[in-house]
């Protein structure tokens, strides 16, 4: 039977609030927004949602090592420190080799007469300053021979030999005596380092002149005051409201945050005269832990991370003013329920009043991006549709936003005005929800008009599926440089999903898609 045209025509607009709407743990059906983000615009008469292409990036610098794995980036005192392939660089100049076995580093810094940068990957930790260079923070139990003691550092005598330890601060020449070195020592004796944990998890917390780290048993150890060379052996306590292990350490406001396997505990500076200065805030404890230390980001004082519970309910949460709340939607949590955390990357970006948190599962080949301003999720990819290959981010002294690439040894700058990824086209994909025009009668779609930026050289490709995302017709191009970009004779349907693709090397903003349609009769 043919379809007769009905009158009058109706005009409707496709909903452009596009978030992951997957009905299961895959991303190959249902609504989603890829390589774009949404912005709510309030007009005099209504609230509109516009879709923008995500910012591109342009190569900014490349340290001397060539292609190498990106392992962290940080702005300290206006300089960009980056780690590529197990080498620390300051503004692209090599400063020394670091451990390369455990992915992306976490950074911090302390004050004092000689401020130092701290970096650690959960295997080894280092201090850096220009005067002393890159120095590994010695772990408890490390043997130091007489002649190499560091003045002011704490040691435990392990072997006396011909060394007179009383000349360099010890009460006696007895194995097991702890002393603070007043000299480098001499002779054949040795001692072990005391204070910094032999094993630790990723993350630092600097609070009131003390730097804190945590180990996998949730013991939190503190440094000397503005002194990350010496770690006070007695400055320790355990996050033990629950018996779960430590995963990551962070800071929020004036509090140390212990992110554990299925809980989170909060501490403040209680000013204790002995032991650790920290005191617990039991009422701030949350029954959500951390699934990956590499997921943790501090974004303008708000902590956000990939969380889990004891029953392994996986979500993304954020802590603001010590209050923990879910920010992942149910469809996003369906994706996260099967996430592979073998290799996790996370980063942050501020563009045009939008604050973005990026979370990547490399093995899962998925990058999810949360817009903290709009509270909306999208998916970002590389040019081949795989995960977004960024492992870290920073802002330089001029306010430029920087990305660190996973493998090519480069740092990239990123701006909203950049329309490609270092010369490679960005593919924006908009998959709409199924649309039925408010009725399951047959709809006749005579025309679609695209309302957005009128830009020379900008083309949007259009196709649709009338069988619940199973099959699609061929793409049809629409010239967005026209005053009225229109596609006509769009057939009939009971329910339809649309797919819009933009690959042009231009800016892209889609404000609305207006449908001219009628109800057919059989």
How is residue 387 annotated by DSSP?
B
| For the chain, percent of residues with pLDDT exceeding 90 | 88
* 241 burial level (CB within 10 Å; 0-12, 13-18, 19+): middle
Domains 10-55+427-519 and 57-121+200-288+326-425 share a fold: no
pTM of the model: 0.93
Instruction: Output the pLDDT for position 2.
Output: 44
Per-residue pLDDT reduced to its tens digit, 454-493: 999 999 999 999 999 999 999 999 999 999 999 999 999 9
Residue with tokens 């355990």: 238
Residue 6 has pLDDT above 80, yes or no: no
Alpha-carbon 400 to chain mean position: 18
Q: What is the 3-state secondary structure (H, E, C) of 286-343?
A: ECCEECCHHHCEEECCEEEEEEECCCCCCEEEEEECCEEEECCCHHHHHHHCCCCCCC
Q: Which residues pair with 498 in a beta bridge?
A: 464
Per-residue pLDDT reduced to its tens digit, 137-149: 999 999 999 999 9
Per-residue pLDDT reduced to its tens digit, 366-425: 999 999 999 999 999 999 999 999 999 999 999 999 999 999 999 999 998 999 999 999
Tell me the C-alpha distance between 119 and 327, whole Å: 29
Per-residue pLDDT reduced to its tens digit, 123-134: 999 999 999 999
Per-residue pLDDT reduced to its tens digit, 13-35: 898 889 999 999 998 889 999 99
Give the start-to-end residue ranges of the domains of the chain.
Answer: 10-55+427-519, 57-121+200-288+326-425, 143-193
CB 428 within 8 A of CB 454: no
Q: Which residues of 220-240 are buried (b: 16+ CB within 10 A; e: fewer)?
A: bbbbbebbbbbbbeebbbbbe
- Angle at CA 290, nearest 5°, toward 75 and 369? 60
Instruction: Output the pLDDT for position 8.
Output: 61
Q: What is the DSSP string of 438-497?
A: T-SSPEEEEEEEEEE---TT-EEEEEEESSTTS-----EEEETTSSS-EEE---EESSBE
Q: Which residues of 168-207 are buried (b: 16+ CB within 10 A; e: fewer)?
A: bbbeeeeeebbbbbeeebeeebbbbbbbbbeebbbbbbbb
Residue 1 has pLDDT above 50, yes or no: no
Q: Which residues pair with 516 in a beta bridge?
A: 11, 447
Q: Which fold, 10-55+427-519?
A: Jelly Rolls (2.60.120)
Q: Which residues of 365-396 are buried (b: 16+ CB within 10 A; e: fewer)?
A: ebbbbbbbbbebbbbbbbeeeebbbbbbbbeb
Per-residue pLDDT reduced to its tens digit, 208-257: 999 999 999 999 999 999 999 989 888 999 999 999 999 999 999 999 99
Quote the mean pLDDT of the chain: 94
Other residues' Cβ atoms within 10 Å of the Cβ of residue 145:
15
CB 497 within 8 A of CB 430: no
Instruction: Output the pLDDT for position 4.
Output: 47
Write out the two tokens for 238.
């355990």
Q: Which residues contact 16 (CB under 8 A, 6 or more apart)?
A: 38, 49, 50, 51, 430, 432, 510, 512, 513
Write out the two tokens for 454.
């009128």
Residue 520 has pLDDT above 90, yes or no: no
Closest CA to 18 of 342, 431, 375: 431
* 130 burial level (CB within 10 Å; 0-12, 13-18, 19+): exposed
CATH 2.130.10 for the 57-121+200-288+326-425 domain, yes or no: yes
């Amino acid at each position: 039977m043919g379809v007769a045209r009905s009158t009058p025509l109706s005009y409707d607009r496709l909903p452009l609030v596009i978030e992951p709407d997957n009905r299961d743990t895959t991303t190959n059906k249902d609504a989603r927004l890829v390589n774009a983000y949404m912005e709510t615009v309030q007009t005099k008469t209504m609230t509109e949602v516009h879709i923008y292409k995500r910012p591109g990036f342009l190569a900014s610098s490349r340290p001397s090592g060539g292609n190498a794995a990106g392992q962290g980036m940080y702005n300290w005192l206006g300089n960009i420190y980056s780690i590529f392939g197990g080498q620390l660089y300051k503004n692209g100049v090599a400063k020394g080799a670091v451990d390369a076995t455990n992915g992306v580093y976490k950074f911090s810094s302390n004050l004092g007469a000689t401020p130092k940068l701290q970096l650690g990957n959960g295997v080894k930790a280092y201090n850096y300053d220009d005067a002393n260079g890159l120095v590994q923070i010695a772990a408890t139990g490390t043997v130091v021979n007489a002649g190499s003691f560091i003045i002011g550092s704490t040691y435990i005598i392990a072997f006396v030999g011909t060394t007179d330890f009383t000349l360099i601060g010890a009460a006696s020449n007895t194995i097991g005596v702890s002393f603070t070195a007043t000299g480098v020592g001499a002779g054949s004796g040795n001692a072990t380092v005391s204070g910094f944990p032999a094993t630790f998890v990723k993350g630092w917390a600097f609070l009131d002149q003390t730097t804190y780290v945590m180990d996998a048993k949730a013991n939190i150890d503190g440094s000397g005051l503005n002194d990350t060379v010496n770690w006070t052996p007695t400055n320790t306590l355990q996050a033990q409201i629950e018996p779960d292990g430590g995963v990551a350490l962070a800071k929020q406001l004036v509090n140390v945050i212990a992110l554990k396997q299925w809980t989170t505990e909060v501490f403040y500076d209680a000013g204790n005269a002995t032991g650790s200065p920290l005191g617990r805030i039991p009422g701030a404890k949350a029954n959500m832990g951390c699934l990956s230390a590499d997921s943790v980001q501090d974004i303008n004082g708000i902590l956000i991370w990939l969380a889990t519970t004891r029953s392994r309910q996986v979500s993304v949460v954020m802590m603001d003013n010590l209050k923990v709340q879910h920010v992942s939607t149910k469809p996003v949590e369906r994706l996260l329920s099967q996430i592979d955390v073998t290799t996790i990357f996370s980063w942050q970006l501020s563009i045009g009043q939008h604050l973005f948190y990026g979370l990547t599962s490399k093995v899962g080949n998925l990058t999810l991006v949360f817009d903290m301003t709009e509270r909306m999720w999208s998916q970002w990819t590389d040019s081949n549709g795989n995960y977004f290959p960024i492992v870290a981010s920073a802002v330089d002294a001029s306010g430029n936003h920087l990305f660190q690439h996973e493998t090519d040894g480069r740092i990239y700058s990123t701006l909203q005005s950049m329309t490609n990824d270092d010369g490679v086209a960005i593919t924006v994909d908009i998959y709409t929800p199924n649309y039925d025009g408010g009725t399951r009668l047959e709809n006749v779609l005579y025309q679609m008009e695209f309302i957005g930026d009128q830009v020379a050289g900008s083309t949007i490709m259009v196709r649709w599926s009338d069988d619940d995302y199973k099959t699609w017709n061929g793409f049809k191009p629409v010239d967005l440089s026209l005053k009225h970009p229109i596609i006509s004779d769009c057939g009939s349907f009971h329910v339809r999903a649309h797919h819009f693709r933009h690959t042009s090397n231009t800016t892209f903003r889609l404000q609305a898609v207006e449908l001219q349609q009628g109800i057919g009769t059989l």
